Structure 1
Amino acid sequence: MRRRRTSVRPAALAALLVLPLATACGGGSTNEGKDTTTLTVLAAASLTDVFQQAKAAYEKEHPGVAVKFSFAGSQELAAQVRQGVPADALVTADTKTMDALAKETGEPAVIAKNRLTIATAPGNPKHLKGLSDLAKSDLKVVLAAPEVPVGRYGKQILDRQHVTVKPVSQEPNVRAVLSKVSLGEADAGLVYVTDATAAKGRVGTVAVPDAQNAVAAYPAATLKGSRHAAEADGFVKWLRGDEARGLLTAAGFQRP
Structure 2
Amino acid sequence: MQNPEWLKLIKVFSFDLGDTLFEYLGNTQTSYDRENQILLESMEKHGYHIADIPKFLDIYQKTIKSNYLALLKEGKDTKYMYVVLRKVFQIMGWTVPNVPTLVDIIRPANLHRFSTSNFKPFHYLHSLLELLQKNGRKMILISNIPESSGPGEPKFADEILKRNHIFDFFSYIILSGELEISKPNPAIFNQALHLTGVKPSQIVHIGDSYEMDVVGAASIGMRTIWLTNGHELKKNPITRTPDLEFPSINEFYEFLNLSD
Q: Pick the structure with more helix per residue.
A: 2
Q: Same fold (TM over 0.5)?
A: no
Q: Pick the structure with more strand per residue.
A: 1
Q: Mark the structure with the bigger radius of gyration.
A: 1
- Output the TM-score relative to the length of structure 2: 0.29
- Output the TM-score relative to the length of structure 1: 0.29
